[in-house]
Structure formats: C-alpha cells, structure tokens
A = this chain, B = another copy of it.
Amino acid sequence: MVVILKKNANQVQYTNLVEWLKSMNIDIHVCQGTHETILGLIGDTSRLDINLIKALDIVEEVRRIQEPYKNANRKFHPDDTVVSVGDDFKIGGGNFAMIAGPCSVESEEQIIEIAEQVKAAGATMLRGGAFKPRTSPYSFQGLKGEGLKLLLEAKKMTGLPIVTELMDLSDLPLFDEVDVIQVGARNMQNFAMLRELGHLRKPILLKRGLSSTLEELLMSAEYIMAGGNEDVILCERGIRTFETMTRNTLDISAIPVLKTLSHLPVIIDPSHAIGISKYVKPLSMAATAAGADGLIIEVHNNPQYAKCDGQQSLTPAAFQDVADTVRAILPHRYTLNKQM
C-alpha cells in the first residue's frame, strides 16, 4: 500500500499514523520529495481498512498494491480449485460444466421433461428457479417451496445435480438437498447472506452483480470463504452499460482476468447476459473459447409460454445444437499460462 501525505503534514498526526501502522506489523519506507511525501507500506496490508487511512487529515491519497482478498487469491493458491458436486460431477481444473434448465419451475411435467431433454443433450447439471426475483410485484414470483420439491423430483428422475437460487436466509432450511446454492446478481452484496453461506459445506454459485467490479465479486467470494466454505463458483452474467440493444453486456474479459486473479472456477450465463435467445449460441461459443469452466443456459420446453424469461430461453433442440457446437470448441479452448 502506498500513502501519499499532504504537503506540510502535521507532525503529531504523522507520528500517530506511523505508530499505528507499526503496531499492525507494517514496515514503512519514506520517500521524501519537494512536493509530496510517499509512504510505502510493506507487509500484510489485506486487513488494513484503506478508508480509515484515507480519512486522515494529513493524507492526500492512498493506493492499494496488494489485492484486498486472500482466500480467493491465486497468488496464495496457485492451483485451480476443483468443486465437487455429489459423487460424480466436478467443475474447474479442466472440468467443464454444462448447466441448463428453465428460468422458473412451473410444474412437475415441465421440469421433468426439460431435465430429461437437457440431460440427453449433454447437460451435467439442472438449473431452475423456485424463488424468483422479479422487478415487478405483479409478476410471477415462483412456486417457492413447492418448486424446490419438484426440482428434487427431477433430480431423482434424471440423476442430475441441481442448482437453484436462495432469495432470503429464512428459506435456507428448505435447501438441504439442493446440490449448489445460487446467489443471484442482486444479492451479490447481501453480506448477511454471504456470511451465513460461509458456514455451510455446500458449493455456492455466486453471480456477479449488474454493476459490480471484478474485485467486488472476488470480495464477495472472500466473504463466503472467510467462513470456511471454499467451494465458490464465480459466474459472469452481463453487466449494465449504456448499450440498449442487449439486455446486458457480457464482459467476456472477466474469464481470463478472474482466472488469473483467482483459483476459483468461472462460468458464464449467456442467457441473462444478452437476453435474446438467438444470440445465446455465439456467446456460448465465445465463452468456451475464452476458457470458461462452464455455461449456465436457460432452456424451456415451450419458451413462448414460459412464465418468465421466455425471450431468452432456448428450446431443447436449440440447446442440443449449442451443446454440440461447444463440445467442438472445447479441445481448442484457451488455458491459462500461469507463468504470465
């Protein structure tokens, strides 16, 4: 960390700062110039609250050099994390996840039909919303507990592990048999939830917030990991920009950047990123080529009558086509050169 002091900084305050930093085992190197004084702080600064230092009267500015996360940091864990789901399914470290299913669980027939179809097309995991975050209080809000039961039914029928979103901690007891718990984009900084999920021993699929930076995403992973739960799967699902032709803007660079900074697996949700079903295929191909550890794609047996997000849902046949194309690209995909 680098601290730039104001010109003519008060000497007493300066001594206080130095003493406080030393008490936290930080070494200080002073670079004295005519216009400015720079302090180079050497040591473990990840637990220093940068804003506390910025607030000091004598401080002009503070720049962080070390990343503010440790558990999620590849520097301290060079090898890829491989998340195990159930007995058979792995993600990360070369294991590619193909997650598919409807935006929301609507009925037993619907979820079982879709589960069977996506499994046939090569899906390795089933997604489906039981609790649905909807912008309008007047839109369909999901089947809730009943939806969870139907998902577990589909799991029993097909053997596919399931991932579904938790919207409020009070529902957590219902998620016991769920294989992977999803934290939605709108809850990426629901810190009470993140903290609680850190005490579980169950994989968490953590979606990036609509306007969250990659560092903030990693800090949210750090919340979960700080509680001892190391099985976090990062998911880029589009960020909000000025462009209006697509629902969001897929930040494809997030794949190599996150994988360089962190050892956690990174998957892509092209359906929410673009919001239009006909563009899901090229985005899936791009994400695979760029080195994603998996995809999570919305599939509906009858998109036109889906209770939500029909506009971005693939038919099972279209999903089959996407899955086939992705498999053709997989052998050629990008793999991180850890020396760089």
Interface, chain A (partner B; CB < 8 A): 2, 4, 13, 27, 29-36, 38, 40, 42-43, 46-47, 49, 51-52, 54-57, 60-61, 63, 65-66, 68-69, 131, 133-141, 167-170, 186-187, 189-195, 210-211, 213-216, 219, 222-223, 226, 239-246, 249-253, 255-257, 260, 273-274, 278-279, 281-283, 285-291, 303-311, 313, 325, 328-329, 332-334, 337, 340
Contacts of A13 in B (CB 8 A): 304
Q: Are B253 and A219 in contact (CB under 8 A)?
A: no
Give me the 7 closest cross-chain CB pairs, A-B, nearest first. A55-B310, A31-B40, A211-B211, A29-B31, A33-B42, A168-B192, A289-B289
Collect the chain B residues with CB atoms within 8 Å of residue A63's CB. Answer: 2, 63
CB–CB A274/B253 < 8 A = yes
Partner of A40, one of B40, B189, B253, B257: B40
A252 to B249, CA, bound (A): 8
Contacts of A135 in B (CB 8 A): 189, 216, 219
Closest B residue, CB atoms, query A335 = B282
A170 to B169, CA, bound (A): 8
A197 to chain B, nearest CB (A): 12
List the B side residues contacting A216 at CB < 8 Å: 135
Cα–Cα, bound, A4→B66 (Å): 10
Of the A-B pairs whose beta carbons lie under 8 Å apart in the complex, a sample of 25, sorted by A's number, is: A2-B38, A2-B40, A35-B66, A46-B138, A49-B136, A49-B308, A55-B305, A61-B65, A135-B189, A135-B219, A136-B219, A168-B169, A168-B193, A186-B190, A210-B211, A213-B242, A213-B245, A241-B242, A249-B249, A252-B286, A253-B274, A253-B283, A286-B286, A325-B334, A332-B332
The residue that A55 contacts in the complex, of B36, B187, B278, B311, with Cβ under 8 A, is: B311
Whether the Cβ atoms of B195 and A137 lie closer than 8 Å is yes
In the bound complex, do residue B65 and residue A36 qualify as a contact, i.e. CB atoms below 8 Å apart? Answer: yes
Inter-subunit contact A49/B140 (CB<8 Å): yes
Shortest Cβ distance from residue A185 to the other chain B in the assembled complex, whole angstroms: 9
Nearest CB of B to A60, in Å: 8
Contact A304 B57 (CB under 8 A): yes
* A281, B36: Cβ atoms closer than 8 Å: no
Tell me how far the C-beta of A290 lies from the nearest C-beta in chain B, rounded to whole angstroms: 4
A308 to B50, CA, bound (A): 10
Known A65-B38, A222-B137; contact A286-B278, beta-carbon cutoff 8 A: no
Find out whether the CB atom of A283 lies under 8 angstroms from the CB atom of B252: yes
Q: Considering only CB atoms, which chain B residue lies closest to A287 in the complex?
A: B286
Report the separation of the CA atoms of residues A165 and B282 in the bound assembly, to the nearest whole angstrom: 30
- Residues of B near A167 (CB, < 8 A) are 190-192
Q: In the complex, what distance in Å separates the CA atom of A66 from the CA atom of B135? A: 16
**A135–B215 Cα gap in the complex (Å)?**
10
**Residue pair B252, A333 in contact (C-beta under 8 Å):** no
Known A138-B47, A290-B282; contact A253-B244, beta-carbon cutoff 8 A: no
Q: A211-B211, A329-B332 are in contact. Are A255 and B226 (CB under 8 A)?
A: no
Question: Is there an interface contact between A304 and B187, defined as CB atoms closer than 8 Å?
Answer: no
* B189 & A211 in contact (Cβ 8 Å cutoff): no
- Across the interface, which residues of B come within 8 angstroms of A131, CB to CB? 192
Please tell me if the beta carbons of A309 and B242 are within 8 angstroms of each other in the complex. no
